[in-house]
C-alpha cells in the first residue's frame, strides 16, 4: 500500500464520515474528549464505568486458527512463511494492492498443502471485504504504518481478532481507537513486536524475573539503524516511509527497543509510563545522503526533512524508574537496539552482549552471555530454538508467530495485549509533542484506566514443555 500519507488520511476521514456504502460508522470511535486523550488524561467517568477491561483477556480455544493477511510485502511474506510451518493454522485470505504479491502467496499456500486462499487486490480499501468473511478468526496486517489502525479496527468490528506489525498506531486518537474498539468488541488486538522474542532480550528477561539483577530502576533502549539506502531505494518502504520523516520530528519507531525493557520493568503490570521529555538534533543525514546519491540539485536532496537525525527521549515511570530511548535512522552507523537493563544487583547489556552480577561476576568485570545461556536461557528459546532456525531476524519472527498461535489454540491470554501495543506506540506522538514544545514534559495516557497498579503475570514466562 504505497499511497502518500496525505491521500491515506483524507480517505480515512472519508470513511470516518460514514459515507462508505454498507459500512456505516466503520471507523467511528466511542466518544471521549480528544483533548483529554492528547493531554494524557483518563477518559470521563461515564466511559470508565462502561469499560470492560481486556486485562488477562482470553477466549475459548481456537483450533484451527484461520488467518487473513493484509499486506504481503517483505514482512508480510515472512510471516506467511512462518505460519505455513506452524500446526493448527489455515490461511484463508490474502490482500494487497499489488496483485502479483497476492498471487505469490496463494501459490505458497497451495504448495504447502492448503487450499488456495481467496485473493483481494481491488484497491487500498479492499481489506474491508476480507474482514467481512465468516471463515476468519484473526486478521494480520503488515501494511505501511498509517494503515495499521484502519485494518485492525475493521477486523475487530467484523468480529475478528487483530494482529499488526509495529508500530500499532501513530497518533493519540489511533491509540485510543484501538483500545476502545478492542474493549467494545471483546477481541484481541496484539502488536507483533518481534524484538521481545530475541534470544539475548529473553535471557535478560529471565534473569530479571529470577531476581538476579535485583530491583530494576533504569534502562536504555533504542532503534539505531541506518535506513538511508532503504528509504531512498525507489521501492518497498521508500514508497511511503520517507513521508513520515518529512512531516514528523520525534521518535518514529520506538517499540523495538522499548518493548523488551518494558517487560523487564513490569509496565502495565504494577508500573506504568508516567511522563516523557524528548529532544531531537537537527536534520542532516537525509539531505547529505541524497545529495551524494541523486545530486545536490535533486528533489530528494532539496527536500526539507522535519525528523532530526537523533532523537533522545527520557521516560519516567510511576514507580520512579527511568528509560533513556534513542531513535536514529539517518546516520552512518552499525545496527543497534542498545538494550541496557540496570538493577540494584547487576546490569545487562546487548550491543555488545555482556552482563555483570554483583557477587557472581568477577569484581568490576563484564561476563559474556555464553556463561549464562546454559543455566538461564529463556524456556521459550529452549523449546523453539531448533524450529526457529532459518526464520527471519535470527528466529525471533518465527517464535513470535508461534506464540500467538499457541495462545489462541490453548485459549490463554496473549503474551502482549492491546494496552502494551498502545503504551509502547504512543511514545511517537508524545515525543513529537515534547520536541515541538522545547522538550517540555508530556504525560502518558493511562490506557488501562488505573488497572496497571495491580501486578499480573507476564505470560511469555509461562511455557509448556
pTM of the prediction?
0.91
* pLDDT-derived band at 31, boundaries 50, 70, 90: very low
Question: Is a pLDDT exceeding 50 seen at residue 4?
Answer: no
In terms of Cα–Cα distance, which of 166, 148, 176, 333 is closest to 254? 166
Strand partners, 442: 276
Question: Residues 154-213: pLDDT tens digits?
Answer: 999 999 999 999 999 999 999 999 999 999 999 999 999 999 999 999 999 999 999 999
- What is the residue whose three cell numbers read 477481541? 187
- Annotate 16-65 with DSSP letters as a single string: HTT-STTTSSTT------HHHHHHTPPPPHHHHHH----TT---S--SSE
Question: Residues 245-254: pLDDT tens digits?
Answer: 999 999 999 9
Helix or strand holding residue 242 (H, E):
helix 242-247
Question: Residues 112-163: pLDDT tens digits?
Answer: 999 999 999 999 999 999 999 999 999 999 999 999 999 999 999 999 999 9
Task: Collapse the DSSP code of 411 into the 3-class scheme (helix H, G, I; strand E, B; otherwise coil) and give the result.
Answer: coil
Could you give all domains of the chain from N- to C-terminal order, each with its CATH number? 5-193 (3.40.50.720), 196-461 (3.30.360.10)
Amino acid at each position: 500500500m504505497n499511497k502518500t500519507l496525505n491521500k491515506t488520511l483524507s480517505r480515512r476521514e472519508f470513511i470516518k464520515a460514514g459515507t462508505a456504502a454498507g459500512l456505516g460508522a466503520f471507523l467511528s470511535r466511542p466518544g471521549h474528549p480528544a483533548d483529554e486523550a492528547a493531554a494524557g488524561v483518563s477518559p470521563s467517568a461515564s466511559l470508565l464505568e462502561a469499560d470492560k477491561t481486556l486485562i488477562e483477556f482470553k477466549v475459548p480455544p481456537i483450533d484451527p486458527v484461520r488467518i487473513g493477511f493484509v499486506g504481503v510485502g517483505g514482512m508480510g511474506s515472512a510471516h506467511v512463511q512462518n505460519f505455513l510451518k506452524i500446526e493448527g493454522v489455515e490461511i484463508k485470505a490474502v490482500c494487497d494492492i499489488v496483485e502479483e504479491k497476492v498471487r505469490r502467496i496463494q501459490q505458497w499456500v497451495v504448495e504447502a498443502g492448503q487450499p488456495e486462499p481467496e485473493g483481494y487486490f481491488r484497491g487500498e480499501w479492499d481489506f474491508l471485504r476480507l474482514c467481512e468473511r465468516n471463515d476468519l478468526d484473526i486478521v494480520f496486517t503488515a501494511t505501511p504504518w498509517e494503515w495499521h489502525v484502519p485494518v485492525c479496527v475493521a477486523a475487530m468490528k467484523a468480529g475478528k481478532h487483530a494482529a499488526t506489525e509495529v508500530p500499532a498506531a501513530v497518533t493519540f486518537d489511533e491509540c485510543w481507537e484501538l483500545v476502545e474498539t478492542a474493549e467494545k468488541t471483546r477481541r484481541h488486538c496484539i502488536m507483533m513486536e518481534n524484538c521481545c522474542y530475541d534470544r539475548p532480550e529473553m535471557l535478560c528477561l529471565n534473569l530479571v524475573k529470577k531476581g538476579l539483577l535485583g530491583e530494576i530502576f533504569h534502562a536504555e533502549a533504542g532503534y539505531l539503524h541506518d535506513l538511508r539506502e532503504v528509504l531512498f531505494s525507489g521501492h518497498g518502504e521508500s514508497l511511503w516511509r520517507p513521508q513520515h520523516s518529512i512531516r514528523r520530528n520525534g521518535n518514529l519507531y520506538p517499540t523495538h527497543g522499548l518493548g523488551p525493557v518494558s517487560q523487564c520493568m513490569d509496565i502495565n503490570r504494577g508500573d506504568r509510563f508516567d511522563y516523557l521529555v524528548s529532544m531531537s538534533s537537527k536534520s542532516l543525514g537525509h539531505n547529505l545522503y541524497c545529495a551524494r546519491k541523486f545530486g545536490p540539485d535533486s528533489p530528494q536532496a532539496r527536500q526539507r526533512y522535519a525528523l532530526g537525525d537523533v532523537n533522545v527521549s527520557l521516560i519516567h515511570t510511576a514507580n520512579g524508574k527511568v528509560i533513556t530511548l534513542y531513535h536514529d535512522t539517518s546516520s552512518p552507523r552499525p545496527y543497534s537496539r542498545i538494550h541496557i537493563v540496570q538493577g540494584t544487583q547487576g546490569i545487562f547489556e546487548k550491543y555488545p552482549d555482556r552482563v555483570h552480577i554483583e557477587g557472581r561476576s568477577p569484581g568490576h568485570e563484564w561476563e559474556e552471555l555464553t556463561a549464562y545461556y546454559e543455566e538461564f536461557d529463556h524456556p521459550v528459546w529452549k523449546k523453539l530454538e531448533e524450529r526457529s532456525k532459518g526464520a527471519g531476524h535470527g528466529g525471533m519472527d518465527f517464535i513470535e508467530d508461534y506464540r500467538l498461535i499457541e495462545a489462541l489454540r490453548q485459549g490463554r491470554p496473549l503474551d502482549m495485549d492491546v494496552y502494551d501495543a498502545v503504551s509502547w506506540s504512543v511514545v511517537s506522538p508524545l515525543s513529537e509533542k515534547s520536541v515541538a514544545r522545547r522538550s517540555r514534559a508530556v504525560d502518558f495516557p493511562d490506557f488501562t484506566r488505573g488497572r496497571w497498579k495491580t501486578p499480573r503475570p507476564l505470560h511469555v514466562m509461562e511455557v509448556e514443555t
